[in-house]
A and B are shown apart, each in its own frame.
Chain A
Amino acid sequence: MKHLLLGVLLFLPLAVQARDMPQYTLTIHNHRYQPTQLKVPAHTKFKLVVVNKDATPEEFESSDFNREKIVMPNAQITIYVGPLDAGHYKFFGDFHQNTAKGTLIVE
């Protein structure tokens, strides 16, 4: 199994890297996302940058599109999302769930 996984890890990146992807940015400020609604194209993988302008860590998370990543204070992260079918997908900040809420509008 080790060999198989190693093989997959070594060779697949070559096949999927190095191509242009649309990029979008979300900003966290006062434990809120800006914008709270983000329009992205359907059936397309895209790059999402999340910038944290707060002095505390946040975890960018979505169970709707299955992503989670910690964003350290005054730092930013990049994740890859999709391809997604058209629809509305919620995301939130795991550490401030009451305020940090937003929606991806995939169309």
Chain B
Amino acid sequence: MWGIALLVFREVLEAALIVTIVAAATRGVTRRGLFIASGIGLGVVGASVVAGLAGVIAGAVGGMGQEVFNASVLLAAVLMIGWHVIWMSTHARELSRHMQDVGSAVKAGSSSLAMLLAVVALAVLREGSEVVLFLYGMMAGGATGLVPGIAIGIAGGSAVGFALYFGLLRIPVRHFFSTTNWMLVLLASGLAANASRYLVQADLLPTLGGQLWNTSGILSDRSVVGQTLHILVGYDARPSGMMLLFYLTTLVLMVAGMKMVGRTPRKPKPDSSVGHVATPAAT
């Protein structure tokens, strides 16, 4: 049971941290809960489909289907987060101002919200498909304690997510969205680095230096803290040169995008999106 709980916990933790950052980044947006719940729901369905097709995916692209699939999912998430972050850099000030102003409406870009829903779905799909395959194997092997193991794993992983969320809520409102934006940038940079790892593993990209450094003695990737930082800021104890290149490229491009878009003055547009009016965050 504890073995099952631990594996489920690790996978749920990764997805939960991503969901948490997205939840914080969309604070104050109407129907945010519905969007996030739909993202998780779609992710769970997607995870089962991906697990069911695991044999087909594995055999695709000359046996490198898993790598190509994982890298594609990760890079898709990176692009969507990039879109949101750059969109937010034009609206962050406006959102923060309105949130302090009780009762006022905040307009949220529905396309950006849909992107983040997709990020949640992809995160759950990727981690979830591994859990499904693992549980399938456990069931086939006649393991016991499946249900309590799953329950403990999900509860534990979600608890870390909730703890992070309520921690983030303590950030003063005027710094809130710039903080969540930076978290999204670091998250995306880490996901991009992870994508490059799959492409190197499939020999579709060169390694550019096997291990730039080794900090596993200080903080192992396998520890809960190491794994949490792996998702939050892309921590890796032994990164390859290609991972660092992807990390830095994503970081620089997103920051440059934010600065460029953020500098352009924007005229307030008439409110045409009546369906996306937000109430102040219930905190």
Contacts and interface: CB of A to CB of B under 8 A. Distances in A.
Contacts of B58: 70, 72, 75, 77
23 contacts: A1-B79, A4-B249, A12-B205, A13-B203, A13-B204, A15-B206, A56-B136, A56-B138, A56-B140, A57-B54, A57-B137, A58-B137, A63-B238, A64-B238, A66-B197, A66-B238, A66-B239, A66-B240, A69-B201, A80-B202, A82-B207, A83-B210, A95-B134
Q: Which one of B82, B137, B140, B211 has the greatest number of beta carbons of chain A within 10 Å?
A: B137
B104 interface: no
Contacts of A17: 203
A8 B75 CA distance: 13
Given A16-B203, A83-B210, 9 more contacts: A9-B199, A9-B204, A13-B204, A56-B138, A66-B238, A78-B63, A80-B202, A82-B210, A95-B133
A25 B236 CA distance: 27
> Which 6 A-B residue pairings sit nearest by Cβ, starting from the closest?
A56-B137, A80-B203, A63-B221, A83-B210, A16-B206, A57-B133
B141 interface: yes
B55 interface: yes
A85 B54 contact: no
B210 A5 contact: no
A75 B67 CA distance: 16
B200 A1 contact: no
Interface of A: 1-2, 4-5, 8-9, 12-13, 15-17, 45, 55-59, 63-67, 69-70, 72, 75, 77-85, 94-95, 97-98
A46 B237 CA distance: 21
Contacts of B134: 57, 59, 94-95
A9 to B, nearest CB: 7
Interface residues of B, number: 45
Nearest to B137: A56
A94 B201 contact: no
Contact of A95 (B137, B210, B249): B137
Q: Which one of A1, A55, A72, A82 has the greatest number of beta carbons of chain B within 10 Å?
A: A1
B181 interface: no
Contact of B55 (A16, A72, A79): A72
Interface in B150-168: none
A76 to B, nearest CB: 8
A69 B39 CA distance: 25
Q: Which one of A9, A85, A97 has the greatest number of beta carbons of chain B within 10 Å?
A: A9
B7 interface: yes
A55 B141 CA distance: 8
Contacts of B136: 56-57
Interface string B120-131: 000000000010
